Chain A
Amino acid sequence: GAGVSQSPRYKVTKRGQDVALRCDPISGHVSLYWYRQALGQGPEFLTYFNYEAQQDKSGLPNDRFSAERPEGSISTLTIQRTEQRDSAMYRCASSLVAGRGLFFGEGSRLTVL
């Protein structure tokens, strides 16, 4: 696509529910990244992929968070048993060259009640 597309744009869920956030990167971009951004702060690294391989997941807060990119294109970030502290903007980015020139999507704003 022309840009990085994320869905849903807004998600409100109840504590304890699972959520899946989707990212469709720019066509041809090898690297894909997930970041989380709290209000008033900069984005915080969660995980990144080169093609379908998850190269680094050190930023995932705990084992309730997981991500996949099975065919090296679309990626899904899954949060199980959501908690209120998971509320944030979740941003996906992609780049043609690993680590350089990141293009961010508009984000998925998650609210956990």
Chain B
Amino acid sequence: GIQVEQSPPDLILQEGANSTLRCNFSDSVNNLQWFHQNPWGQLINLFYIPSGTKQNGRLSATTVATERYSLLYISSSQTTDSGVYFCAVPISSGSARQLTFGSGTQLTVLP
């Protein structure tokens, strides 16, 4: 199956700082999603981004499918951004529906 690696595993920021989270994957994909698990355990879909760039407020994501990586940018971070960020790609190159998740980046934003 496709392997997913996220970096860094942990990140601590001061409020207002910017950050970049990375997701590497081992094979070409036609589906990539970013999720945020907040400190209360809710898992929220941020982006569906198999290629290209999307922006939503202070968050943006870029996927370079040919080079097998995706980046999640968080600008002007806030304490509410804290939590775990997961990227997810298909379990295998022949499937777009069953997702496998990376191990996540634990983000802590300090006030």
Contacts and interface: CB of A to CB of B under 8 A. Distances in A.
B86 A100 contact: no
A102 B99 contact: yes
Nearest to A109: B41
A51 to B, nearest CB: 13
Interface residues of B, number: 23
Nearest to A58: B98
Contact of B48 (A89, A98, A100): A100
A45 B99 contact: yes
Given A99-B95, A99-B99, A101-B48, 15 more contacts: A41-B103, A42-B86, A42-B88, A42-B101, A43-B43, A43-B101, A44-B101, A45-B98, A55-B97, A56-B97, A91-B43, A99-B98, A101-B45, A102-B99, A106-B41
23 contacts: A31-B97, A42-B86, A42-B88, A42-B102, A42-B104, A43-B86, A43-B88, A45-B98, A48-B98, A56-B97, A56-B98, A58-B98, A59-B98, A91-B43, A99-B90, A99-B95, A99-B98, A100-B31, A100-B33, A104-B42, A104-B43, A104-B45, A106-B41
